Amino acid sequence: MTTARGLEGVVATTSSVSSIIDDTLTYAGYNIDDLTENASFEEVIYLLWHRSLPTQAQLDELKSQLSENYDIPQEILDHFKMYPIDKVHPMAALRSSVSLLGLYDEESDIMTDEANYRKAIRIQAKIPALVTAFARIRRGQEPIAPKKEYGIAENFLYMLSGNEPTAVEIEAFDKALVLHADHELNASTFTARVCVATLSDIYSGVTAALGALKGPLHGGANEQVMKMLTEIGSADNVEPYILEKLNNKEKIMGFGHRVYRQGDPRAKHLREMSKRLTEQNGQPELYNMSIEIEGLVTGSKNLPPNVDFYSASVYHSLGIEHDLFTPIFAVSRASGWIAHILEQYANNRLIRPRAEYTGPNMQKYIPISERG
């Protein structure tokens, strides 16, 4: 056996959901650039789950199925109100509430293909409502019911603020959802597949994925990027702040990626969205600071920005609280998790790697009375 820390370079399975080849990301063979410019998030959901783009009739059916399942049980809303609101991170609330959803689904443990697809629809439809409901409840506000005629992006922004989002905001958020939908065998996706490979249910798989996404080295990075931008405060402080971090060999969140060598192909789309939105809301300094940070970090360490770096200023410009950035990642990535979960079920084998033992050998039991 050979070992690889973090399983780096190890090919653990085959998949037709998405690929990263020569720094190009594709969903079912479609280049992410093509999809970001042309496809809606709902089209991408269909693509990931079926490996083909939908016809208009198929897309209409999917949208109808999602809209019919937007609502979440009142018991979960009541449960949110029991949380220690000032101490609970929204990712912890989302992780727990998705697990709770399984308790109210009569098909939770039915493992037929048809039942799993119906559960996939319910989970994808309800996650945006869970995130926005918790966000409002912790502010002392009542949750806002989704509008059946709205898509996921428009509904999320509406349910969060209570205001009708602009066309630019809807477009930007929808593109962000497309960009985050799947990313091959990342940490949370691998976690989901390991979980359901035991033939555990889909709610367990998505809950396990949420637990992995919660970490700052995965989904939490964009929240840390916004924290950094807030600490810097103004363009005058960018250079001394970043140079101090670089001199101290501190990690700067939002840069570099294990599987990309020439740069994350998603970053350029979010960079452009950041420019448009920060100009629209009168905060162009956020974009300008980000550009300067990119120049310093990439110039010094040859680390280009990843998807998290510019998504921070995009979400901030949409008026979204910073600790909701990772739950938004989950709103999108649930589509990819579900695609991989369904693929795992379809050709399952228990995932059980080995570990190279590095501890002592040939130890002999000593009675407790004789231990020093």
Give the model's pLDDT for residue 100.
97
Whole-angstrom distance between the N-terminal and C-terminal Cα of the chain? 37
Q: Per-residue pLDDT for 196 more than 80?
A: yes
% residues pLDDT > 70 (the chain): 100
Residues of the chain within CATH 1.10.580.10 domain(s) are 15-215+324-346
Q: Per-residue pLDDT for 261 more than 80?
A: no
Q: pLDDT, tens digit, for every residue of 287-331?
A: 999 999 999 999 999 889 998 899 999 999 999 999 999 999 999
Task: Give the model's confidence band at 258: pLDDT under 50 very low, under 70 low, under 90 confident, else very high.
Answer: confident
Q: Is CATH 1.10.580.10 what the domain over 15-215+324-346 is classified as, yes or no?
A: yes
What is the dihedral sign for C-alpha 25, 185, 43, 70? negative
| Residue pair 172/189 in contact by the 8 Å Cβ criterion | no
Instruction: Summarize the confidence of residues 198-209 as an average pLDDT.
Output: 98
> H/E element holding 202?
helix 202-213
Residues present in the chain in total: 372
Q: Per-residue pLDDT for 275 more than 80?
A: yes
Give the model's pLDDT for residue 52.
98
How many Å separate Cα 41 from the centre of its chain?
14
Distance separating alpha carbons of residues 266 and 264, to the nearest angstrom = 5
Give the model's pLDDT for residue 57.
98
Distance separating alpha carbons of residues 116 and 85, to the nearest angstrom = 33
Q: Per-residue pLDDT for 62 more than 80?
A: yes
Q: Per-residue pLDDT for 338 more than 90?
A: yes
The answer for residues whose C-beta is within 8 angstroms of residue 324's C-beta and 6 or more apart is: 90, 131, 135, 160, 315
Residues identified as active-site: 257, 308
Domain 221-317 architecture: Orthogonal Bundle (1.10)
Distance separating alpha carbons of residues 141 and 365, to the nearest angstrom = 60
30-31 and 18-21 beta bridge pairing = unpaired
Q: Taking CA 172 as the corner, what is the angle to CA 166 and CA 175, rounded to the nearest 5 degrees?
A: 140
Q: Which residues of 4-69 form beta strands (DSSP E)?
A: 18-21, 24-27, 30-31
Judged by DSSP in three states, 27 sits in strand
Residues of the chain within CATH 1.10.230.10 domain(s) are 221-317
Task: Give the model's confidence band at 221: pLDDT under 50 very low, under 70 low, under 90 confident, else very high.
Answer: confident
